[in-house]
Structure formats: C-alpha cells, structure tokens
Amino acid sequence: MNRIRIRELVRKEFIQLFRDRKNRPILIIAPIIQLLVFGYVVNYDIRDIRVVLLDQSRTRESRMLAESFQANRIFRITHHAADPREPDRLLLEGKVDLAVKVGPDYGERIRRGETADIQVLADGSMSNMASVRIAYAVSVLDRLNRQIMRELYPRRLDYGRADARIRAWYNPNLDSQNFFVPGIVAFLIMLTSLLFTSMAIIKEKEAGTMEQLIVTPLRPVELIVGKTIPYILISLGQMLLVTTLAILWFEVPLSGSAALLFLAACLFLLSTLGIGLFISTISSTQQQAMMTTFFFILPFFMLSGFVFPIANMPEAVQWLTYLNPLRYFLVIIRGIFLKGVGMGVLWPQYVCLTVLGLFVFAGAIGRFRKRLD
C-alpha cells in the first residue's frame, strides 16, 4: 500500500469537496445551526402546564386549591370556567392540558372532616406528557392536604382531605403507540415526498435529459406538475398503507373522518413537495440534494412537537415552529385519530397548512422557472 498515492487521493477529495461553494454551508454552517436549535429543543422538563379550573364550591377551601396550583411554577391556570361543559371543550380543542373540577360540596365536606373528590382530567393524546402532568397534579394535592391539616384544622384529628379522581381523555390507558404511530405516519409522508422530489430534477440533470425536456413544447408549469404528480400519488399511497397498518396492526383508533385526514395530507404535500422542488433548484448533485434534504428534515422533526413539547421550548424557538408544516399536520392527524374532532376544531391548522403550502409551492415554482430561463 503506497502512502503517497493515498495521501494525494485524500487531498484530491478534500479539494473537490470544498471547491463547490454549495457544499461549504452544508459542511460548516448546517451543523452549527442544528446544534444551536437542538440544544434548546431537546428538553424533557415539564413547564407551563395549562390548566382550566371549574370551581363550583367557591369557598375558602376551594380557593386554597386554586392557590396551590398557582403557587406551583409548573402550572398556569389559563381559564376559570363557569359552565361545567367548558373544561371538556377546552380539552377537546387543545387549549389546555389539564382540567380540574371542584364540586359544589367540596368545602362543606372538607369542613365535616370527610374526603372531598376533585376530578382531574388530562389530555391523553400526548401520552408521554400526560402521565407526568397527572403525577405533578397529584403532588400538588398532597401538599394541599398537608396545608389543610396545618392551617385550617391544626387541633383536630378528623380533618378533611382532597382526593383526586383522575381520568385521561382520548387515550384512557395512555398507550404510547396511540401517541407515536400517528406521528410516524406524518413523518413518513414528509420523508418520502421531500426525499424523492428533491432528487427528481437532479437525476434529470445528471442524466442529461433535462435539456431534452426543456426544448420540448412543455411549459415550465406542465413540467413541474408532471414531475410532482407521481410523488403525490406515491406519498398518498404510502399514507393509505401505513394508516391501514396503524389501525389494523397497532390497533390505533381512527375516531374521526378519513376524508379530512386525506385533505390534510394533500395540503401537507403542497409544502413538502414545494420544499423538495426548491432543494432540487439549489443543488448540483444528488449528494448535495440528499444532504440538504436531511438538513430540512431534522429541524422539521425536532420542531414539530412530535417528541418534545413546543411549550417547553424557548419563546424564540416557539416562533420558528410556526413555519413548520409538520407542526400543523401532527395536530390534525392526532386530533382525527384520537379525539375524533372535525373541521370545527381543526380549521386553524387547515388554514395555516393551506397558506404555508401555497406560499412554499408558488415560491418553488418561481425559482424553478427562473432556473429554466
């Protein structure tokens, strides 16, 4: 083995790698950006648990309960419900994480030295977070009971106590499969559509057939539509396959409308195909296209709320998540699978997906037409 020949070959590879200006941001800037983003995103700490409180007792004892939650930095009472049905609606719409219902006889039962039930409802659609939120709520009630004994009835042996009646909605057993599998369905659609679309134009360029297509009577829009339709059909076919497997094999309940799920997938594909086309216009080789695609995929995954709650991220990073189409699609797909909600609840996500998809796809078409000119 000749060391000189190997050294010169290594030198040649480095020169070729850095000679292309498009490779430099991918090799140097991309890892720095991803490290900064992931350093703030990867966080399993529980913060800012949004709570709706229904206080039908309105006594000193029930006010102590509210103060116990407010004094804990983890919880934030965002709504004080007057209607008994309001906590259920807020949980369904995803505006709160926990609902605490205090019955009208709560204060009286505490004063009589009896056990007073408190209903705690958790959004179980995020099973990995729901169990932790429930545990924190139970710890707050334990501290409340000690406070009742110490402050209200210090000289009595028979003091009342608050007892939590806990239920997890939309995923009663807190099965992690019910949480992760719908998210995986969304992620696979994104992966397929982004990867294949970003490589489609590059393959034509490297094979030398792009020039032949350009000189044909095909208009740029017709060329783009013709190139993207196969990947739309493939992505939708994959979605049908993995959704069927999720329902039949993993027994994830599909509680909502399959038609709304299909519509959301089409809107989501507008964004992913548009990003794929954009990548194909800024890449010179298939290797560049693949590296750039994964540069987009990783932040999309991390900033979507798939694993790490968006509420736990720094405020600046939370604003970035609004540019992520996967964020909206995950809310829709989990809402349809687990909550069975429809357009009346999910319309903000559909609007955001539509606006974002049209903007990205139109921008990609404009960039592609400019490259053809």
Domain assignment present for 43: no
Domain assignment present for 100: yes
Residues 163 and 237 occupy one common structural domain: no
Q: Which pLDDT value is given to residue 111?
A: 81
Q: Strands 98-102 and 75-81: what pairing?
A: unpaired
Residues 316 and 209 occupy one common structural domain: yes
Task: Write out the residue range of the structural domain in which residue 107 sits.
Answer: 49-169
Which of 154, 169, 184 is the C-terminal boundary of a domain?
169
Domain assignment present for 358: yes
The answer to whether the CB of 36 falls within 8 A of the CB of 316 is no
Closest CA to 325 of 348, 298, 356: 356
And the tokens for 268?
A: 């989501």
Instruction: Give the integer Cα–Cα distance in Å for 247 and 254.
Output: 7
Residues 314 and 194 occupy one common structural domain: yes
Q: Give pLDDT tens digits along the chain (373 positions).
A: 667 766 767 776 667 666 766 666 666 776 777 677 667 666 666 778 999 999 999 988 889 899 999 888 889 999 999 899 999 999 999 899 999 999 999 888 888 878 888 999 999 888 878 888 999 999 998 888 888 777 766 555 456 678 889 999 898 888 888 888 898 889 989 988 888 888 877 777 777 676 676 667 777 777 777 878 888 888 889 889 989 998 999 888 899 999 999 999 999 999 998 898 888 888 877 877 888 888 888 888 888 988 778 877 888 888 989 999 999 999 999 999 999 999 999 999 999 999 999 999 888 888 777 666 5
Give me the DSSP letters along 180-212. HHHHHHHHHHHHHHHHHHHHHHHHHHHHT-HHH
Domain assignment present for 330: yes
The answer to whether the CB of 52 falls within 8 A of the CB of 81 is yes
Instruction: Give the integer Cα–Cα distance in Å for 96 and 330.
Output: 17
Residues 322 and 191 occupy one common structural domain: yes
Q: Strands 115-123 and 98-102: what pairing?
A: antiparallel
Residues 366 and 254 occupy one common structural domain: yes
CA angle 86–91–93, rounded 5-degree value: 95
And the tokens for 212?
A: 């032949």
Query: How far lies 20's CA from each of 15, 28, 284, 288, in Å?
Result: 9, 13, 9, 10
Domain assignment present for 292: yes
Give me the DSSP letters along 101-135. EE-TTHHHHHHTT-EEEEEEEEETTSHHHHHHHHH
Residues 89 and 193 occupy one common structural domain: no
Q: Which pLDDT value is given to residue 1?
A: 63
The answer to whether the CB of 74 falls within 8 A of the CB of 49 is yes
Residues 112 and 196 occupy one common structural domain: no
Look up the pTM and report it. Answer: 0.83
Which of 169, 192, 226 is the C-terminal boundary of a domain?
169
Q: What is the DSSP letter of 311?
A: G
And the tokens for 26?
A: 């991918």
Edge-to-edge strand ranges of the sheet holding 49-55: 75-81, 49-55, 98-102, 115-123, 161-169
Contact residues for 227 (Cβ-Cβ < 8 A; gap 6+): 197, 200, 201
Residues 254 and 107 occupy one common structural domain: no
And the tokens for 331?
A: 């809310």
Instruction: Give the integer Cα–Cα distance in Å for 137 and 120.
Output: 8
Q: Which pLDDT value is given to residue 211?
A: 65
Q: Which pLDDT value is given to residue 160?
A: 66
Which of 138, 169, 200 is the C-terminal boundary of a domain?
169
Instruction: Give the integer Cα–Cα distance in Å for 345 and 60.
Output: 36
Instruction: Give the integer Cα–Cα distance in Å for 366 and 363.
Output: 5
Q: What is the DSSP letter of 29?
A: I
The answer to whether the CB of 185 falls within 8 A of the CB of 211 is no
Domain assignment present for 260: yes
Instruction: Give the integer Cα–Cα distance in Å for 349 and 339.
Output: 15
Contact residues for 328 (Cβ-Cβ < 8 A; gap 6+): 268, 349, 350, 352, 353, 356
Domain assignment present for 67: yes
The answer to whether the CB of 125 falls within 8 A of the CB of 179 is yes
Q: What is the CATH number of the domain that holds 109?
A: 3.40.1710.10
Residues 162 and 268 occupy one common structural domain: no
Residues 246 and 350 occupy one common structural domain: yes
Residues 130 and 214 occupy one common structural domain: no
Instruction: Give the integer Cα–Cα distance in Å for 143 and 318.
Output: 32
Domain assignment present for 33: no
Residues 201 and 291 occupy one common structural domain: yes
Closest CA to 38 of 272, 313, 294, 306: 313
User: How many domains are there within the chain?
Assistant: 2
